[in-house]
Amino acid sequence: IDGRQSDRAMMVRRGTQILLHEMRHAVLPELPLASGRRADLITLSEKGEVWIIEIKTSIEDFRVDRKWPEYRLHCDRLFFATHQDVPLEIFPEECGLFLSDGYGAHMIREAPEHRMAPATRKSVTLNFSRAAAQRLMMAEWANGKPFTVDDV
């Protein structure tokens, strides 16, 4: 990924995270999955639904990536997120779609539900929880002070 593409990916990520936070989802970026793949964003809703959001910053970025169908095994809903310079019609109808400007995002299309098996749900949720706890601890160590309930 070149610097400009990386900047666009962070812009899309940030805006999408803002919207998901407003939707009361817990959001983790870059979570490794049991399949060996890594989710750009994975969320846990208040109802316990798991969403994966795959970020795409260009037509070429989407065209060369054929691993995205594998993410369905690890979530209840699968989305793409992009920015205004990418034509929305390239994204498959069977996935949800977010459009981000870095300051927020809009859900252009809801993703159909395909519920995970209970054992998979347990595994994904445990992975999510452990990664979140580990990252919080590392952030506390880097920050030099503990986070409290008031910080959430």
State the Cα–Cα distance between residues 5 and 129, nearest whole angstrom. Answer: 30
- Asked if residue 2 belongs to a domain, the reply is no
- State mean pLDDT over 57-61: 95
Please count the structural domains in the chain: 1
State the Cα–Cα distance between residues 23 and 127, nearest whole angstrom. Answer: 22
What is the pTM for the complete model shown? 0.92
Structure-token match 């400007």, residue found: 101
Q: Which CATH number does the domain housing residue 131 bear?
A: 3.40.1350
- Asked if residue 107 belongs to a domain, the reply is yes
Domain residues for the domain of 68 are 7-143
The answer to whether residues 15 and 104 touch, using CB atoms and an 8 Å cutoff, is yes
- Asked if residue 149 belongs to a domain, the reply is no
The answer on pLDDT for 3 being more than 80 is no
Phi-psi region of 16 (alpha: psi -120 to 50; beta: other; left: phi over 0): alpha
Q: Which helix (H) or strand (E) holds 22?
A: helix 3-22
- Asked if residue 96 belongs to a domain, the reply is yes
Q: How many helices (H) and strands (E) does the chain have?
A: 3, 6
Q: Give the pLDDT band (50/70/90) at residue 93.
A: very high
pLDDT digits (tens, 9 = 90+) for 106-130: 999 999 999 999 999 999 999 999 9
